[in-house]
Chains A and B, each alone.
Chain A
């Protein structure tokens, strides 16, 4: 897509996102909808974080639900029990979650594919059990509450806060993907043996991606705590790891728009069909199976694939959709990821 057309599209979406609460605030039903979109954006941040490890190094982590819960609790405990300033606690939460991610990544990332997925899921289950039983940490049945500053008590204010962070995370991820270090990550995903042969230390790259991924999902957790106001052990549920994975795959793995489209779209859909109760997740499961077989690049990936095919740049092999455009022999290496 032409650069200006693409920027135009993004600005349009941004404008819609900014305008949304103003429109919704006018009705009572609308006010409730604001929270749905706020939470949807929180999940979008979590999905973007999983994208970093799955889309760009090819490792499927099923622990991101646990990390999100860890982030949420770390934030709540820091603010509520230790008394750290709300805004200072945010980056601290990211660092704590990143550190734990580093510890888990060190033994786990030596394995690949489904084994890595299983290991991370085991970790998630361990975290759930620990949180369930260790009531000092999790607050037992009463849970852990979070008192937010009074200026954040309005729903629409929190919406804009989360929107701000969503844009920030998108920019950060874009920078990573477009940078030289992004090329190492993509190399590891594309052909790990060859990456090693050209001097890339694949274990180190995976560890960096995993740690960065946990850094970002910690932020998602903190924002989740902010929006929910009260947490219990269930926030670390491994089902959340599955849902984040679904949002990512349906939206489009290895793209920047995909995680946002998937998370916001599906989370909003979940709310719309609430009447179906438990069976909503049955539909999720069916959609996942259909997509992984017939449309593995997701919605956004599928659209990009159509575009590339139309432009004659299509290859048979499954692609991480962010392929760059070279613009002439005199041009500097301007972008390794996509625009």
Chain B
């Protein structure tokens, strides 16, 4: 029983990462309708930035977290301005293709400079015992960190003017622009938020695994799976879907096979979209 419990907790931890990336994607894909397929690679850049700031720069972990989030927020705004804004108004597949170009640029840039996996030390390198299981503290940091950021995001959306503007855009973009909400500013803000969130996810996760150029690839696909199944533009769906996927994946690794763990998520997507092309939650259609 304690083994099962520890796997569930690992699943929640895995899910935390998915939730943070999927939420960012929900903002961009679901609300701005931009097929920002390179979001996973922004996450990857966040992890490498952490290495630079923390290992090369000597900053402490928590300070590095803030620096990485800020740095990546800026990067997100730059990407939106340079790559996606010129494509506004064109069919969304064009943005998707541009994102593929961006993926190649980011991944090969990193791999060309440093192809070997790197690692980053855990800020609190110890374990904790509870409920009969033993867990690294970092895993708990991930779980609570994610909850913290998700709540922060929800507060921002619901309680601030800017956040309300984003929500307005998610409901009706044309209407929002008619009441004076600037699409340009909102796009930049949304990208900044989403990319900062991805950076946070990367910083939280990095001490638990290796940092490698490919780390964003399957992550982005899973995030898309979560966003589409959870319902485009639905933040609740992204949260729910992220945790469920994390738990199911952890259990699958533990009880079935670790080799096919990625296949699992994608197989689900194909099956669900084949049966219900509109996704499981309320949102816009995929067809």
Interface residues of A (CB under 8 A from B): 60, 106-108, 110-115, 117-119, 121-123, 125-126, 129-130, 132-133, 242, 245-246, 249, 277-282, 284-289, 292-293, 296
**Is the pair A117, B105 in contact by a Cβ cutoff of 8 Å?**
no
Residue from the set A60, A279, A289 with the largest chain B CB neighbour count within 10 Å? A289
For B274, list chain A residues within 8 Å (CB): 106-108, 110
A281 nearest CB neighbor, chain B only: B108
For A296, list chain B residues within 8 Å (CB): 90, 94
**Is the pair B97, A129 in contact by a Cβ cutoff of 8 Å?**
no
For A285, list chain B residues within 8 Å (CB): 100-106, 108
**Is the pair A125, B94 in contact by a Cβ cutoff of 8 Å?**
no
> B interface, by DSSP: helix, strand, loop or mixed?
helix
Chain-A contact segment, one of B120-128, B171-179, B238-246, B259-267:
B259-267
Residue B52 at the chain A interface, CB threshold 8 Å = no
B237 → chain A, closest Cβ, in Å? 15
In residues 83-129 of chain B, which contact A (Cβ within 8 Å)? 83, 86-87, 90-98, 100-109, 111-112, 115
Residue B228 at the chain A interface, CB threshold 8 Å = yes
For B225, list chain A residues within 8 Å (CB): 118, 122
**Is the pair A292, B104 in contact by a Cβ cutoff of 8 Å?**
no
**Is the pair B270, A110 in contact by a Cβ cutoff of 8 Å?**
no
B198 → chain A, closest Cβ, in Å? 18
A63 → chain B, closest Cβ, in Å? 11
B86 → chain A, closest Cβ, in Å? 5
Q: Could you list 16 examples of A-B contacts with CB < 8 Å?
A: A60-B96, A113-B35, A113-B93, A114-B96, A117-B93, A117-B96, A122-B270, A133-B260, A245-B97, A249-B97, A281-B108, A282-B108, A285-B100, A285-B101, A289-B105, A292-B97
A129–B277 alpha-carbon span in the complex (Å): 25
Known: A107-B271, A246-B101, A293-B87. 8 other contacts (CB 8 A): A107-B270, A108-B274, A110-B273, A125-B262, A242-B100, A245-B97, A282-B104, A285-B105
For B228, list chain A residues within 8 Å (CB): 115, 118
A104 nearest CB neighbor, chain B only: B270
**Is the pair A111, B287 in contact by a Cβ cutoff of 8 Å?**
yes
A229–B272 alpha-carbon span in the complex (Å): 39
**Is the pair A284, B104 in contact by a Cβ cutoff of 8 Å?**
yes
For A117, list chain B residues within 8 Å (CB): 35, 93, 96
A243 nearest CB neighbor, chain B only: B104
B168 → chain A, closest Cβ, in Å? 24
**Is the pair B102, A289 in contact by a Cβ cutoff of 8 Å?**
yes
A115-B98 in contact given A125-B266, A282-B109 (Cβ < 8 Å): no
For B105, list chain A residues within 8 Å (CB): 282, 285-286, 289
B232 nearest CB neighbor, chain A only: A115
A112–B163 alpha-carbon span in the complex (Å): 30
CB 8 Å contact bits of B202-243 with A (1 = contact, 0 = none): 000000000000000010010011001000000000000000
For A129, list chain B residues within 8 Å (CB): 259-260, 262-263
Residue from the set B87, B266, B277 with the largest chain A CB neighbour count within 10 Å? B266
Contacting residue for A125 out of B102, B106, B221, CB 8 A = B221
